[in-house]
A and B are shown apart, each in its own frame.
Chain A
Amino acid sequence: MNDLDTKPPETVVDLRGVTRRFGPTTALDDVSLSVPRGTVFGLVGVNGAGKTTLIKHVLGLLRAQTGSVRVFGLDPVADPVGVLSKIGYLSEDKDLPDWMRVDELLHYNRAFYPSWDDRYAEQLRRTFELDSAKQIKQLSRGQRARAGLLAALAHRPEILVLDEPSSGLDPIVRRDILTAIIRTISDEGRTVLFSSHLLEEVERVSDYVAMIDEGRIVLCDRLEQIKDSFHCLTLRFDAPQSDPPTVPGALGWKGADQEWTAVCNGRLEELQAAAAEAGARIVGQRVPSLDEIFVARVGRTCPASDEE
């Protein structure tokens, strides 16, 4: 039944042709995605793109209407205990029970996970500066996020699923704690799947990135591969151009007259040849940021989270 008993699969999360509709709205449209073991996998998209819906399918909180979801080779709906015991999850809402104290939250969670590490939990509690005797409802938004993160991490999960983890964390905590934790987990050979609005943050920690838009995966690859295949080119023409130039692989031009800039998808040599054929020469070339690639690919900006 469990493939992991014999041979650990390289893919820990595997979605195949998953479609999900809520009434007339298609939240996920034929989504296929594989998250390799030991990687940090970033999901990016605008509000309502389908990131949380996708994560809920991974957790078994939503049942795939078509297609299949496998986590560690198991169906999270058919075997929730088998899947959830290996997952640490921090929800977007940080919906911890308000009435629990921090120490009660830890005691309660500890009972569910045989791999719970008391020393690590205490170390994290001190790092996050959480008072054991305080009730969850007495904590600030940022402290709640830290308490949720602590509960998700202390059993050393095989996969850490974070839905908008930066929400509620101030920039210092975000950089010093979240980033460090994500990298530590990845270094230990465990897997992180996280969604974020903050493309800069995703770019800093991710090995793989999937861009999701209107329920569809529009781009999914290794981050280096993505960065290698996109170029920000500035073209100069001898004469002013009234219309944007036509270069295969270019994703939306900005500029006017003689100078035009675009994020282009393709091999650099081919783009250079195409630019020459269009009557222009490349006067500027750099590797675009993930943010620029996202805007070029999806066609609109990714709104920042509440703190931004």
Chain B
Amino acid sequence: MHRPITAMLWEVWGRHRWVLAVSPVYFLALSILSHAVSDGLIYGLDLSVYKDAIFFVLLFLASPLVVGLIPLFAYACDADIAGRESTFPARMLTLPLTTRALVGWPMICGTVAIALTWLAVASLVLRPAGMDVPLWWPAVFSASCLAWIQAMAWRPFGLPGMRILAAWGPIGGLVAVLGLGWGVRLPEVVASLLLAGTILPAFVVAVVGLSRARRGDVPDWQWLATWVQRVAGWFTCRGRPFATASRAQVWFEWRRNGLGLSIFVVLAILFLGALILVNRHNPRLPAGSPFRSPILLLVVPLLGAMMAGNGWGNCGDPGRGLAMRAFLATRPISGGGLIWAKMKAAAIGTAVAWGATLAAVVLMLLLTRSWAELAGPWNLVTGNLPAAQTAALVILGVALLLGGTWKSMFGNLFLGLAGRDRVMMVAASVFVFAMAATVPLGYFVLMHPQYHADLWSALPWLLAEVAVLKLALAGWALRAIRRQGLVDGPLLKRLLLGWLLAAAGLLLLLGWLLPAEIAPWYLLLPCVVLALPLLRISLAPLALAWNRHR
């Protein structure tokens, strides 16, 4: 390594080699999926009807490939992005390089990488599925966004959290440039050049910011910080000691994970809300497009929960691996108590996220006077159901939304609680390989209708076998928990009773709502067992003990 650029790229590779190695496999799986649906018509299923939905799913699945590069090249993976200090690694500030070089190399590498990744995703994932996505301006837009995020990330700020707010300025500016270009129908080349032109100012801002960070010139707006802390004090434990250790731990988990989720939800609502308002009268979007309906906001809590779920089980220290930090491991609280606190914090996070989202949806419906748009989907779902069944359907829907959000947050808790990189890597690999295997398998099944009848009749058996396997594994895990005394006996009994009641309630409700000829009990029962979380919750105390007592 004779050149700084080689060393800097090597560091990025070395730090994230597993993710970077898995990404091409993930990309390949998406490309196969995209080609699988590219025919548009597969044995009676006219996929063109679901074109919007397929596009949304593919875009959602492919977005981590592009968006994931942002924290990587902004050196924000292990940094405190809400903090005042620059996220630029302090050890690199002492390298014998000019600030221009320190900023320039990662900015060039990052912008090129993100632009090329978009081109690859658009050409090999989205376009083969029949989506006529533009190539150039999104590539340049991604690069410009990354450059400005780098500039904001590497600049020190006077207040905690200010970076996140400040970053919305240039990002909003880029969106405005895009909207302006769209409005006056600029050619794609001109829009791309306009966006590319913003990278140079981002570089200048980044150099000025990093120069300040390099000489330790971190602004301190103490007068404002004192005021902010006073306001923040209303929402924290300051002056109010906790009554129990459990409450203290719930507060800890809320501050560590839940607060970030709430901030994400609020920012996402603002962003999507603005997008919906802009798109309301956009003639280019079809009338039924989800991007012009306030209902789109309902994806925010689920999206936020899925993102937060990745870190919800992590008991480690940012930048120091997943191993449980000694501070937490030495608090006199049982493993069961720690997990219970995480579950409660997840429940609070769910309530806050949905509360904010529903308030925003109602507000948007009022602002856009689009209540009437809800009538269609409502009638489609409820049809001619009697009032009691309609009410039950609403309750079920709300429970599914809330439960789904909550489950997304702690569903993979046991992976993070295990506190081992290799467990995360194995889980990620299993997910990618399962996806890679499911796509061709599903395609094969769709392509061979002669097997459909047999598969349909075997489905209850298959589901029952998987459900029995799940219950057997959960039983083993619960027995191990009991034997090792990881969770108090009464708490364990309460959890099991709660699960049984939820399963029985869901079974009865679904049995009442769905006709027996569509969903017989022998199909519903394994579905309910598989839908309700049990095994993964049961594994959580074992994973935590494995992490805490190494």
Contacts and interface: CB of A to CB of B under 8 A. Distances in A.
Contact of A111 (B247, B317, B325): B247
Contact of A61 (B80, B251, B485, B549): B549
A291 interface: no
A98 B160 CA distance: 13
A101 interface: yes
Given A104-B236, A110-B242, A96 B334 contact: no
Given A98-B80, A107-B248, A108-B242, A61 B236 contact: no
B448 interface: no
Is chain A's interface secondary structure helix, strand, loop, or mixed overall?
loop
Nearest to B318: A98
A108 B251 CA distance: 9
Question: Interface size bucket, A side?
Answer: 35 or more
A111 B548 contact: no
Interface string A64-98: 00000000000001111101110101010101111
B240 A59 contact: no
B333 interface: yes
A38 B334 CA distance: 28
B548 A61 contact: yes
A103 interface: yes
Contact of B326 (A63, A93, A100, A108): A93
A111 B244 contact: yes
Contact of A110 (B238, B241, B330): B241
B107 to A, nearest CB: 27
Interface in A227-281: none
A101 B226 CA distance: 13
B332 interface: yes
B241 A96 contact: no
Interface in A38-66: 59-63
A111 B330 contact: no
B185 interface: no
A134 to B, nearest CB: 10
Interface residues of B, number: 37
B248 A95 contact: no
B237 A77 contact: no
Given A81-B332, A95-B326, A99-B255, A63 B485 contact: no
Contacts, number: 91
Given A61-B329, A95-B325, A104-B237, A112 B549 contact: no
A87 B484 CA distance: 22
B80 A107 contact: no
Nearest to B546: A63
A133 B325 CA distance: 24
B331 A112 contact: yes
B242 A107 contact: yes
B327 A137 contact: no
Given A85-B332, A95-B317, A62 B549 contact: yes
Given A61-B548, A63-B549, A87 B330 contact: yes
B245 interface: yes
Contacts of B241: 107, 110-111
B83 interface: yes
B549 A89 contact: no
A113 interface: yes
B327 A84 contact: no
A79 B334 CA distance: 8
Interface of A: 59-63, 77-81, 83-85, 87, 89, 91, 93, 95-101, 103-104, 107-113, 133, 137
Given A60-B548, A78-B484, A107-B241, 17 more contacts: A61-B326, A61-B329, A61-B548, A80-B334, A80-B548, A91-B327, A95-B317, A95-B326, A99-B80, A99-B256, A107-B240, A107-B248, A108-B242, A108-B248, A110-B248, A111-B245, A111-B249
